[in-house]
Amino acid sequence: MVLMDKTARRHRWDTKFAPYGYVAPYFLIFGVFGLFPLLYTIWVSLQDRNLLESEAATFVWFANYAKLMADPYFWNAMGNTLSLWLLTTVPQILFALFIAQLLNRKVRTRTLFRMGVILPNITSVAAVTIIFAQLFGRDFGLVNWVLELFGAGQIDWQAGTASSHVAIAVMVVWRWTGYHALIFLASMQAIPSTLYEAATLDGANGRQQFWRITVPLLRPQIIFTTIIATTGNMRLLAEPLLFNPGAAAATGGSDRQFQTAALYLYEQGFTKYDFGYSSSIAVVLAIATVVVAGLGYLATKRIRTE
């Protein structure tokens, strides 16, 4: 009796409280080093505050937000953010699925190929900047050099809205596709081949099998990558910043044609020292990111197992 009771109690304790213990390290460390900066940012977003002068800050409630809603440059930046989100996230996931599919086949030297796709991700940002500045240079860039071989004219990549978005999207997609492909690959390998064998017997071809078996079974990973890619791509900063080096880097082009919301908050915070306004952009951007990630979740959740 006593023994039973003890075990049962231990069991109850285990199912009730142990899970909190497992998630506690995350929340503990995040609570100290993640939550404080977050709450602080929200607090500052309600102030009129110069970055250098916290003593002179005044509390203004939602004045920063009101100004933000009427700021055409903020909306321009949000538009660019959404455009770049679309241009990066969708190709990233489609290419990653395609590459994972290739890597999942039985090929020689597959380790080499698997390692190869992740190479862009281990390249340091400083190197990527220099490399892409060279590639997308107007007069002597490799891309324009190749375009000219095919008789197409030179493109001033930084100048146009569309061309700059494409160039930045290429950098992002190049850097992150292999990463997502490996996530897909890991799960693809766990799909039982009997499913494919049965489908083959039913006369389904490779493409049908891919869309009817592989993709539905990868649903959790597709949801995962969509959310991760969205949260990353909604706050693109390094790429647009480094795409336009020089004193005007933070404006994202001569007409702000590729200034993302994250870059706009960077401009307001670190070149204009408007800490309050910059913080309000951060808060709005975070909310927008959650909304867009939620939409992405709803879209990918519709993938069903046939």
Map the footprint of other proteins across residues 63-122, applying CB under 8 A: 99, 102-107, 110-122
Residue 66 · residue 53 · CB < 8 Å: no
- Of the candidates 44, 36, 37, 38, which has an alpha carbon nearest to the alpha carbon of residue 61? 44
Q: Write down the least CB distance from residue 152 to other proteins, Å.
A: 17
Q: Write down the least CB distance from residue 272 to other proteins, Å.
A: 6
Number of residues that bind other proteins (CB under 8 A): 126
Give the contact letters, 171-200, x = binds to other proteins (CB under 8 A), - = no.
---x---xx--xx-xxx-xxxxxxxxx---
Q: Write down the least CB distance from residue 128 to other proteins, Å.
A: 7
Q: Which residues of 270-302 are buried (b: 16+ CB within 10 A; e: fewer)?
A: eeeebbbbbbbbbbbbbebbeebbeebeeebee
Amino acid at 186: A
Q: Write down the least CB distance from residue 69 to other proteins, Å.
A: 15
The residues, ordered by sequence, that sit 6+ positions from 121 with a Cβ below 8 Å of its Cβ are: 175, 176, 178, 179
- Of the pair 59, 116, the CB lying nearest other proteins is at 116
How wide is the angle at C-alpha 280 spanned by C-alphas 278 and 284, nearest 5°?
120
SS3 at position 156: coil
Residue with tokens 């939409």: 295
44 class by beta-carbon count within 10 Å (0-12 exposed, 13-18 middle, 19+ buried): buried
Span of 46-54, 57-65, 84-92 interacting with other proteins by CB under 8 A: 46-54
- Of the pair 87, 188, the CB lying nearest other proteins is at 188
Helix (H) / strand (E) element for 56: namely strand 53-59
- Of the pair 87, 289, the CB lying nearest other proteins is at 289
Residue 111's alpha-carbon distances to 102, 103, 264, in angstroms, are 13, 9, 42
Binding to other proteins (CB under 8 A) within 211-230 occurs at: 217, 220-221, 223-224, 227-228
Binding to other proteins (CB under 8 A) within 228-257 occurs at: 228, 231, 234-235, 237-238, 245-249, 251, 253-255
Is position 154 an interface residue for other proteins (rule: CB under 8 A)? no
Q: Write down the least CB distance from residue 100 to other proteins, Å.
A: 11
CA 294 to chain centre: 14
Is position 285 an interface residue for other proteins (rule: CB under 8 A)? yes
Return the residue of 85, 233, 265, 300 that touches other proteins, per CB under 8 A.
Answer: 265
Q: Write down the least CB distance from residue 91 to other proteins, Å.
A: 13
Q: Write down the least CB distance from residue 90 to other proteins, Å.
A: 18
Is position 148 an interface residue for other proteins (rule: CB under 8 A)? no
Q: Give the whole-angstrom CA distance, residue 45 versus residue 64.
A: 7
Binding to other proteins (CB under 8 A) within 15-34 occurs at: 15-16, 18-20, 22-23, 25-27, 29-30, 32-34
